[in-house]
Amino acid sequence: MTPHYTGSTLADQKHEEHEMEASVGADLAGARLDQALAALFPDYSRSRLQAWTREGRVSVNGEQRRPRDKVALGDTLRVRALIEDQVACEPQDIPLHMVYEDEHILVIDKAANLVVHPAAGNPDGTIQNALLFHDPNLIELPRAGIVHRLDKDTTGLMVIAKSQAAHKRLVDAIAAREIKREYRALVIGSMPAGGTIDMPIGRHPTQRTRMAVNPMGKPSVTHFRVLEHFRGHTLLKVMLETGRTHQIRVHMAHLRHPIFGDPVYGGRLHLPGGASQDLKGVMRGFKRQALHAKRLELAHPVSGRRMRFSCAIPADMRAVIDALAVDANIHWTDPDYEDYAGFDEFEGFDEHGDDET
């Protein structure tokens, strides 16, 4: 049976309550209540449905049950879904570079010096504030629909959920490693070839604001390929299999090839021997990690349509690469020209995003 939705706004409590109802079919007879709820109301996570059950917001034939209780054929399940406003984050008119938008998702090209969501030291001026200004309805979603993050000074593509259905399915897709993310990284030193880094990442044992390769950390896998060698630096294509905090930055630093400009893991400035004054000026003027999320591939969370998004390397990072290319007498171009950012539909996913078309 298709769930039936009704709604009433409780403005004085800063949230909305939606009543939903569905009947147990033969395929779910004998299942646990939480399993039946997850199957009948797929727009909501199992943990959220379990919480509502414990709070008395779920009934079976008008009676409250525990998440582990079994349901029977024909049972009527009612859920009073509580969608809380994210009132701690206020809308702010902050420009966002929109790459794509429909009723379920939004894809942006994130600029440098922009934090994703409020946290200690950054109470506002974030992408989350900007999203709430762009679409006030996003207040109904956790963190205004943000499902993954980029560091403050990392640029590039992010996908945002605009509906409950899209939010849950994007979170599930990220957990299942079904969303492919491809980066460009300029690293210090000459890396002879590409490879895979499979090393767990966790908190640094003594510097708690940093991450580090740590045997007690979470599994973390990064694939990389050399795109261009310069004098003393290498341009990489990097593909994430997992998405840990600072993953690319930590993995590259562990290999002793940190991201150029990284203020946390990069160490001192490295200049090629005999560098011109122009090259020195460009490199000294770059004050962030040279890391850009260039490509994003996913199946649309509602329609299932396969989509590939791409965006150009930002001007400041491209200026460094251009200067290094001139220094090394190498012709280098970004396949996505300066003012292009967009998406195209395609038949299948490229393994690790290896196709440059």
Residues catalogued as catalytic = 151
Nearest to 252 by CA among 197, 294, 172: 197
- Is 126:108 a contact under the CB 8 Å cutoff? no
Q: Give the number of other Cβ atoms within 10 Å of residue 178's Cβ.
A: 14
- The answer to whether 187 and 324 are in contact (CB under 8 A) is no
> How far is it, in rounded angstroms, from Cα 107 to Cα 291?
18
The answer to whether 289 and 238 are in contact (CB under 8 A) is no
- How far apart are the C-alpha atoms of 140 and 278, rounded to whole Å? 50
| DSSP string of 65-99, one letter each residue | --TTSB--TTPEEEEEEEEE--TTS--------EE
Buried/exposed code over 194-228 (b: 16+ C-beta within 10 A; e: otherwise)? eeebebbbbeeeeeeebbbbbeebeebbbbbbbbb
User: How far from the centroid of its chain's Cα atoms is residue 103's Cα?
Assistant: 19
CB atoms within 10 A of CB 290: 28
Measure the CA–CA gap between 246 and 262, rounded to whole angstroms. 11
Q: With CA atoms as reference, report the closest residue to 23 among 57, 53, 55, 60.
A: 60
Strands (E) located in 119-242: 155-161, 180-188, 195-198, 201-203, 211-213, 221-229, 233-240
For 127, 147, 165, 174, the CA distances from 105, given in Å and listed in that order, are 15, 11, 10, 14
> What is the per-residue DSSP string for 155-168?
EEEEEEE-SHHHHH
Kindly report the number of other CB atoms within 10 A of residue 139's CB atom. 20
